[in-house]
A and B are shown apart, each in its own frame.
Chain A
Amino acid sequence: MSAPSGTFQERVDKALGNAQLKVALERTTGNARRKRAAAVEAWPDFVAARAAAAAIKDHSIAHMAYYLEMFERNALASGAQVHWARDPDEACKIVVDICKAANARTVTRSKSMLGEEIGLPHALAGAGIRRVETDLAEHIIQLAGETPSHIIWPAAHRTREDVAKLFDEHHREKPTAHDVVSMVGSARKELREDFFAADVGISGANFLCADTGAICTITNEGNAELTTTPPRVHIVTAGIEKIVASTEHALQLTRLLVRSATGADLTQYTTFHCGPKRPGDLDGPDQFHIVLVDHGRTEMLTEMPEMLRCLRCGACLNHCVVYRAIGGHAYGGAYPGPMGSVLTPVFDGLEQTRDLPNACTLNGQCRQVCPVDIPLPTMLRHWREQSWRAGYEPKTLRAAIRLWAFFAARPRLYQLAQAVALPAMRLFAKGGWISSLPLASGWTAARDLPKPPGESFLTSIRKGGTP
């Protein structure tokens, strides 16, 4: 598995140089945008529903300790074992230790972004444990040796042609044809044996329900239940912000989550898991472990509490012009797109990731589609401010902005400078356009610049006297 490497700019260059990537991204995100729009249209009060959803999440965040304790009490009563981890290393160690104690040789995993966030695939490999990804998209990228590029469609960067090639190469029973249905059929056969060969099944959680101690998974394929039911041990890894007050709140949020993610009213499988096998049960795991992970979330309670609302629906990715241009791998973290640009600096440090909050036009569409009304642009700007304060922004940029701001706060000086600059710029024009301008190559590399006027508006006004 190769995680994205290089600088942000290098990753962007690579992404923009890959014409197939744009095709794949547009097919997946375009479908997602259309379906979401239809689902939202069928809910006339959707704007009010978003506010209500935000309030539901804010409620559990405001009483986080209370609800986490309630969750833990109820989970323990159901026979679950509850573990707490401050950081990814602790979380991975807990999971690996449980696997070792169970003498696990093979684990199946259903998609969990938290697992990616804490580097669980890597930790399992390090412990010599065979990992089988069972979500179709995760299966595709496991075959390709990649990391996810989207939080809902991890293989959003792969076209059906790519997938056909991978399946032909790796599957014991090759797909009979290269249409999507045949390829899905081939994956079904390929993974079926693994579901029953696994010693441990690992899942994430969309919600932790305080009132019952159950964890909720929301999936389409049925792989989550096949991952968590047959093996002897089921391990759940979840961020502590997944806590909600009740089953009712979980279901209410699911309504928005699913519509925002796939445009469906509900995904095929909304499942609550509560504890291990009970007396008389014919299936189910003997052990049920829940690993609750902090990893920066308690800091976010103070720094950016709204971000803890995030349901991981992916709508902000699908609607982001930057994500759609560069894809998920260019972001370099577990979470891409607008929500990733807010979260990755929390996890990986701002100094290394300062490009993410900056590489954004602040157009606000992400916030508009977010089902829990997270002010993503405000948070991205917040990171820019932190980065500026900490001195992470490049020196030349800092100098340029400072110089410009000095003039901008002094109209007379500004207008003097402008009176020199405009005629100078005009010297580079051919016809009405400038196609290359020193110090402005960022602009002229991609597009022409209109030739400026001989004098500014305010100069004309001053000369003309009246408007």
Chain B
Amino acid sequence: MSARNDIFAAIRKARPEVAAPTSIASEAQACSQAMKRTLPPLDASDLVGLFTARVSAEKVGATVERVARLTDLPGAVARYVATNALAPDFALQPDPRLQQLAWQDAPGAELRPGAPLRRDTALAVGLALGGIAETGSLIFHSGAEAPTLYGFLPLHHLVALDAQTLMPLLEDYAVFASGLPVPRNVNLVTGASGTTDIEGVLARGAHGPGNLHIVIFN
């Protein structure tokens, strides 16, 4: 017998009962509901405020700024580049909404968004699919317009986030995702890369970005 058959045979021997898929599904549903009832209450009226508080907390360690519209992103990037003394070349996630922004018009620095993503890229600019207020997480679904590595290779990751796409809880993300095709990668990014591997002390920028800056627009 193949390993697969052996394993399934052993499981069925230990758990011979067969339940109807519908009853299994409602049991699963009941489990999620029971868990949701234990959650501390969350004030969903100000998701931006909640998200911001979470993500800029010491243990998450990102920085946040608000702008009026996505078209204000180039200005925000220019400011970030200036504040952090970065070169004006940066890797821009190949999302058409980002590509079509007027980068050349940004005041101050002469931004050059065409740099390829490389292993020593200093800055990448991206657009999140959404955000989760409970945890301060950014949501990315990989695809042609959202390669995974933009969020992992650079030392600085600057991410635009539409305030309208904020959702309260992890469970809300699960519902949201169930309506979309399953991507190759879902990346829920919660703060800058960090490690506590040496004596449990937190240090940033282990392998992923050491700095995460989020620009929330309406």
Direct A–B contact in complex, judged by CB atoms less than 8 Å apart:
yes
Residues of chain A whose beta carbon lies under 8 Å from any beta carbon of chain B: 24, 27-32, 42-46, 48-49, 52-53, 55-56, 59, 62-66, 68-69, 74, 78, 84-86, 90, 134-137, 140, 153-155, 158-160, 163, 180-181, 183-185, 187-188, 191-193, 195-196, 211-214, 220-223, 225-226, 229-230, 240, 245-249, 251-252, 254-255, 262-278, 280-284, 292, 294, 298-299, 301-302
Question: When the two chains form their complex, are residues B185 and A45 in contact, meaning their CB atoms are under 8 A apart?
Answer: no
Q: Which one of B27-35, B73-81, B96-104 is at the A interface?
A: B27-35
Which residues of chain A are within 8 angstroms of B205 by Cβ–Cβ distance? 184-185, 188
Q: Is the CB of B178 within 8 A of A247?
A: yes
Instruction: Using A49-B38, A282-B94 as known contacts, list a sample of 7 further A-B pairs with CB atoms less than 8 Å apart, ordered by residue number in A.
Output: A42-B40, A43-B38, A49-B35, A153-B196, A225-B208, A265-B135, A266-B137
Q: Are A268 and B208 in contact (CB under 8 A)?
A: yes
Q: Is the CB of B188 within 8 A of A271?
A: yes
Known contacts A32-B200, A52-B34; decide if A251 and B194 are in contact (CB<8 Å).
Answer: no
| A277 to B199 CA separation, bound complex (whole angstroms) | 37
B191 to chain A, nearest CB (A): 5
Q: Are B186 and A184 in contact, CB atoms less than 8 angstroms apart?
A: no
Count of A-B contacts judged by CB separation below 8 Å: 279
CA distance A265 to B54 in the complex (A): 9
Q: Does B88 contact A (CB under 8 A)?
A: no
Least CB distance, B14 to chain A, in whole angstroms: 4
Given A195-B119, A230-B149, A265-B134: A248 touches B174 (CB 8 Å cut-off)? yes
- Residues of chain B lying within 8 A (CB to CB) of residue A160: 198-199, 201
A-B pairs with lowest CB-CB distance, top 6: A222-B208, A31-B200, A280-B144, A298-B10, A248-B174, A221-B206
Q: Inside 8 A of A267's CB, which chain B residues have their CB?
A: 190
Residues on B with beta carbons closer than 8 Å to the beta carbon of A280? 143-144
Question: Which residue of chain A has its CB nearest to the CB of B11?
Answer: A65
CB-based contact B209/A222 at 8 Å:
yes
Residues from chain A with Cβ under 8 Å of B193 in the complex: 220-222, 268-269
Total interface residues in chain B, CB < 8 Å: 78
Rounded to whole Å, the gap between the CB of A138 and the closest CB of chain B is 9
Interface centre among A135, A246, A268, A292 (most CB of B within 10 A): A268
Which listed segment binds A: B1-9, B63-71, B105-113, B158-166?
B1-9
Let me know if B85 is at the binding interface, CB within 8 A: no
Chain A nearest Cβ from B168, distance in angstroms: 13
B residues in contact with A49, CB < 8 Å: 35, 38-39
CB proximity of B112 to chain A, nearest CB, Å: 20
Q: Is B86 interfacial (CB 8 A cutoff)?
A: no
Tell whether, in the assembled complex, residue B40 and residue A214 are in contact, meaning their CB atoms are under 8 Å apart.
no
A137 to B21 alpha-carbon distance, docked (Å): 43
B87 at the A/B interface (Cβ < 8 Å)? no
Tell me if B148 counts as interface (CB < 8 A to partner A).
yes
State the Cβ distance, B197 to closest chain A Cβ, in Å. Answer: 4
Contact A220 B194 (CB under 8 A): yes
Q: State which of B31, B149, B177, B198 has its C-beta within 8 Å of the C-beta of A155.
A: B198
Q: Which of B21, B31, B171, B184 contacts A52 (CB 8 A)?
A: B31
CA distance A301 to B175 in the complex (A): 31
A188 to chain B, nearest CB (A): 6
Interface residue B203 (Cβ < 8 Å from any Cβ of A): yes
The 25 sampled A-B contact pairs (Cβ below 8 Å) are A45-B38, A45-B39, A46-B38, A52-B34, A59-B28, A84-B7, A136-B206, A153-B200, A163-B198, A184-B198, A195-B119, A220-B193, A221-B207, A226-B208, A229-B185, A245-B28, A246-B28, A246-B174, A247-B178, A265-B60, A266-B190, A268-B208, A274-B184, A277-B184, A281-B147
Contact call B32/A247, Cβ cutoff below 8 A: no
Contact among B8, B178, B201 for A31, CB-based, below 8 A: B201
Give the contacts of B18-52 with A (CB-CB under 8 A). Answer: 18-19, 21, 24, 27-28, 31-32, 34-35, 37-40
Measured CA separation A195–B118 after assembly (Å): 12
Known interface pairs A52-B35, A252-B32, A284-B148; A275-B184 also in contact (CB < 8 Å): yes
Do residues B15 and A65 form an inter-chain contact, with CB atoms below 8 A? yes
Cβ-defined partner of B32 (8 Å) among A27, A193, A249, A273: A249
Interface centre among A135, A160, A225, by most B CB within 10 Å?
A225
The CA of A278 and the CA of B208, in the complex, are separated in Å by 23
